[in-house]
A and B are shown apart, each in its own frame.
Chain A
Amino acid sequence: MLSRTADNLYWLARYVERAEYLARILDATLRLTALPLAYVGAGNEWQSAVATAGCADAFAAAYPEANEDTVTHFLAFSPANPSSIRCCLESARVNARAVRTALTVEMWDTINGAWLELKKWSDGPSSRQDFSSFLRWVIESSLRFDGSAYRTMLRNDAYWFSRLGLYIERADNTARILDVKYHLLLPAIEPVGGPLDYFQWASILRSVSALTAYHWVYRENVKPWLVAELLILRDEMPRSLASCYENLVQNADRIARAYGRQGLAQRQARTIRARLENSRIEQIFQEGLHEFLNDFIKDNNQFGAAVTQQYLV
């Protein structure tokens, strides 16, 4: 397979995953801001949404203030923000078109259909309700795309490269949301277990669609350290860092076997996977969650760079 093709497949999956993640953050923020102030505290949720999306600097340069209008526009519709939902879907479609023959009809239809449908919203949403249905539509498009890839794609290097993109992006997103939210929340004067805690943590879990999973795994109140454990170390949680890396190791391994040669990317993935597997949440807290997540994001980027170096350029 040409490096260029692999590159397109990789980025196609990354952009679709990122669009879904942004939609989930916006959805969780909308829910939080709809609650009475007494429940959620006076913190600026919209500011934190921008920080979780990882584009706080670009936002600050473009807008004077973070509120519902500016943030929804910036994260969802802005053509100037390269990682807005709109730009993600457009880039995904550009990448998909370049490798049209490597995709199945279902995948192409989903991504092309999403791109056509996007035009309906080019002037922004007409109301809050309209915006909600937009977010739902983005999430559904991503699910449909992922599902068609899973059900219709031949299991060869094309599929494996697209999975690499998907899981790298997902691991990055999970680490980021946990990092930002933990820092906004931990210094709270509010006693642990108060309503502030409950709604904030529930919203984090909801933004990675893990609220129900949490209750299945732990069967108790939402507690910060358990949320962190679920999203970092639990293999059975499909968005956790551990699970993302299990998948990355497997897919990188399959590529290595198919090509009969392995390198830095495989070694790095295995190393990160082993670390996650051998860590325990008490240890992570002792050494500092922020440091752990920062290191992880750095390692994850390095792994992404290694994949690019080895296969995509």
Chain B
Amino acid sequence: MRISIAHSTVYRYEPPANGAVQVLRLTPRNHDSQYVARWRIDVSPDAQLAMREDAFGNITHVFSAARPLPEIRVDVDGEVETQDGNGVVRGTAERFPQSLFLRDTDLTRADAAIRALAEEIGTANGCIPLDSLHALMRRLHDEIAYDTALTNTPMSAAEAFALKRGVCRDLTHAFIAVARCLGIPARYVAGYLQLADGITEQEAGHAWAEAFVPDLGWVGFDPANAICQTDAYVRVAVGLDSLGAAPVRGARYGISAESLEVAIKVGQ
């Protein structure tokens, strides 16, 4: 499937910021079932834009400007050719052994409720990783209500699980937390999803999880939609949690109020 993506992010500062440094994780890499046919990043102010690779093998652009900035606009557009890999993601850039992805972070730390869920799912599925992960994905999909009102509320996995509401980011965090309790390496994936209902304009990128299943490799699970990764998914960055895979992270100098506008278009 050929997916075209246009993603623009505008930061407005009032009064203008004195300068800014940002790390953009906005460039997908090729793997067995994904090929980037065309990709371009545009940043509005004249600034340095240096490409490098982060520790997880994600392609990053570091953007820095040291003069007054009323706004920063980051435009990304490109085309990606994808194939259905039946959920399995092969041929990715791997920089660490899988066991690294058992590591806890603040956003994915398990509490008693999550550990109880892990134990329940583990025993119900006889500790077979693939079955447990499928059961977990359906369980979270049913139990946590999708609520876009919470997009801008940062929550940990435990909080979202207790609240029973969240966005794809929170479902993914919960999924990762439970998988790691089961001893299955899991990681956060940020990317784009082409919606089945044909709507191209989206308010935010998509997020899902990958878990390492012996004999299969990394398998993509999307608890927000209760399906494994298909050819509608474009995989951009991975990390231990949403902060590690965030599309844009950065800092600005000077005291100013910031407003953010994101527009994403994913179509065929």
Spell out A's residues near B (CB within 8 Å).
249, 253, 266-267, 270-271, 273-275, 277-278
Q: Are B91 and A278 in contact (CB under 8 A)?
A: yes
A275 cross-chain contacts in B, Cβ below 8 A: 32, 91
Residues of A contacting B: mostly: helix
Contact between B35 and A249, CB atoms less than 8 A apart: yes
Are B91 and A267 in contact (CB-based, < 8 A)?
Answer: no
Interface residues of B in 71-86 (CB under 8 A from A): 81, 83
Overall SS of chain B's interface: loop
Q: Apart from A277-B30, A278-B94, what are 5 other A-B pairs with CB-CB below 8 Å?
A: A273-B35, A274-B29, A274-B35, A277-B93, A278-B30
**Bound: A267/B31 CA distance, A:** 11
CB contacts under 8 Å to A, within B9-52, are 29-35, 37
Q: Which residues of chain B have a CB within 8 Å of any CB of chain A?
A: 29-35, 37, 57, 81, 83, 91-94
Q: Please name all residues of chain A whose beta carbon is closer than 8 Å to the beta carbon of B93 when the two chains form the complex.
A: 277-278
User: What CA separation (Å) do A271 and B33 show in the bound complex?
Assistant: 7
Asked if residues B92 and A278 are in contact (CB atoms below 8 Å), the reply is yes
Q: Which partner residue on chain A sits nearest B93 by CB separation? A: A278
Residues of A within 8 A of B30 (CB): 270, 273-274, 277-278
User: A123 → chain B, closest Cβ, in Å?
Assistant: 51
A215: shortest Cβ distance to chain B, in Å? Answer: 24
Q: In the complex, how many angstroms separate the beta carbon of B93 from the nearest chain A beta carbon? A: 4
Q: Is the beta-carbon distance between B91 and A271 smaller than 8 angstroms?
A: yes
Once bound together, how far apart are the Cα atoms of A236 and B170, in whole Å? 42
What residues on B are CB-neighbors of A274 within 8 Å?
29-32, 34-35, 91
The distance from the CB of A299 to the nearest CB of chain B, in whole angstroms, is 12
Write out the residue numbers on chain B whose beta carbons fall within 8 Å of the beta carbon of A267.
83
Residues in B with CB closer than 8 Å to A278 are: 29-31, 57, 91-94
Query: Contact between A270 and B81 (Cβ–Cβ < 8 Å)?
Result: yes
Q: Hey, which chain B residues are within 8 Å of A253, CB to CB?
A: 37, 81
